[in-house]
Homo-oligomer: A and B are copies of this chain.
Amino acid sequence: MARTSLSRPTIADVAQAAGVSKSTVSRVLMGNLAYMRDDTRQRVEQAITALNYSPSSVARSLVTKRTHTVGLLVSDVGNPFYPEVIHSVEDVALAHGYDVFLCNTNYNPERGLQILRSLIAKQVDGVMIMSSSMSDEWVIELVKQEVPTVVLDWQISHLAGEVSTIKVDFETGVREAAAHLIELGHRRFAHISGPLNMRTSLLRRDAFLKALADFNVDPAAVVIIEGDLRIESGRKALNQLMALNPRPTAVFTANDMMALGLIWAAREVGLQIPRDLSVVGLDNIRLAAEINPPLTTIALPQSEIGRLAMESLLELFDRRKNAQEDGLALQVDTHLVIRNSTCQPGSTVDN
């Protein structure tokens, strides 16, 4: 009769200890105290603390169909773009009583799918996808299983409306960057892109070319070097730049990591940044402000992205409850943060 310590106490144990029924215990658990006598509530509460009882979310989920858990898929937590967005996702999640199941796909679509299926089996209430190297299959699976989903920077026409999307509008920031460089007097440009099989790499490159074209710079004259988004490839890119004649006076890298590599490599060969070469990054990672010279870069609103993602998931939960249509399409802006890695070509003056 008495509970052994072999297993954790259940609601029945609490009920017995308090001399009430399970329903009553459940009611205080749920905060459903409308018509309850004060002393019974207290007896129940005492029993709960006495037994050190904590309800099983598993059992609860089985009946309520909700786990109060959401999945967040990222490519790699080591990527400095993520920490802030993760942080803000967690903040709003926690504030609404949700836990975040953070998963690395390691840039591996297979692994991502495996994780996804596992999350679905575990009945997460929703999923946020922020992995650049995702595959359409993921979303198809999610839609098939009717899991509320929001995905960052991804497009697929025939499923639009089924899921929510957050689009990062690179164009405004890139345009600002181009304008900034033009205004400083630059005319010869290079771009270090991400892997050109990634859609976002193309987007960024084309936005830059387009913006430049609007300032009457011939896109064909812009040197494009393909990188892989990592520091080392920024270094390599610089070497390629050095071989050019005439050399570009300004370079826009698809992310900040490559900008760092490029700047460091430049210094090692005796180039002065920004005097001999202006560089603009993208991401505005924390490090960008801490290096010398502090990096001029296009800032993404990481916190806003995280917040919006989780908020639209919550919104989706609501709609689902009301049997409404899914799928809102959101967009966030980018803007240029001017620091000291850009100046007039050949100038010795920090702008």
Residue ranges of A at the interface with B (Cβ–Cβ < 8 Å): 8, 52, 54-59, 61-62, 67, 69, 76-78, 80, 82-84, 86-87, 90, 94, 99-104, 106, 111, 114-115, 117-123, 144-146, 231-232, 260-261, 264, 267-268, 286-287, 290-292
Given B58, B106, B111, B144, which contacts A122 in the complex, CB threshold below 8 Å? B58
Least CB distance from A319 to B in Å reads 16
Question: Would B76 and A83 count as touching, CB distance under 8 A?
Answer: yes
Instruction: Write 29 A-B pairs (CB below 8 A) sorted by A numbering.
Output: A52-B144, A52-B145, A54-B117, A54-B145, A55-B121, A56-B62, A56-B121, A57-B121, A57-B123, A58-B61, A58-B122, A59-B62, A67-B122, A69-B122, A77-B82, A78-B83, A78-B87, A78-B286, A86-B104, A87-B106, A94-B111, A94-B115, A99-B122, A100-B103, A101-B101, A232-B290, A261-B290, A264-B291, A268-B292
Question: What is the minimal beta-carbon distance from A230 to any residue of chain B, in angstroms?
Answer: 9
> A123 to chain B: which residues have CB within 8 Å?
56-58
Known: A78-B84, A122-B57. A94 touches B106 (CB 8 A): no
Copies of chain A in the complex = 2
Question: Which residues from chain B contact A119 at a C-beta distance below 8 Å?
Answer: 99
Alpha-carbon distance between A104 and B101 when the two chains are bound, in angstroms: 11
Min C-beta distance of A140 to chain B, whole Å: 11
Chain B residues with CB below 8 A from A290, complex form: 231-232, 260-261, 264
- A121 surroundings in chain B (CB, below 8 A): 54-57
Task: Please determine whether B76 and A99 come into contact, CB atoms closer than 8 angstroms.
Answer: no
Residues A104 and B122 in contact in the complex (CB < 8 Å), given A58-B61, A62-B58, A268-B292: no
B8 touches A145 (CB 8 A): yes
- Given known contacts A82-B77, A83-B78, A84-B78, A120 and B54 CB-to-CB distance under 8 angstroms: yes
Tell me if A104 and B120 are in contact (CB < 8 A).
Answer: no
Task: Select which of B52, B82, B146 is within 8 A of A8 by beta carbon.
Answer: B146
- A90: B residues at CB distance < 8 A: 103-104
Question: Nearest 4 pairs between A and B by C-beta?
Answer: A78-B83, A102-B102, A57-B121, A57-B122
Assembled-state Cα–Cα distance A300/B122 (Å): 34
Q: In the complex the two chains form, what is the Cα distance from A146 to B5 in whole Å?
A: 10
- CB-defined contacts of A61 to chain B, threshold 8 Å: 58
Q: B99–A102 contact, CB under 8 A? A: no
Known: A99-B101, A121-B56. A77 touches B86 (CB 8 A): yes
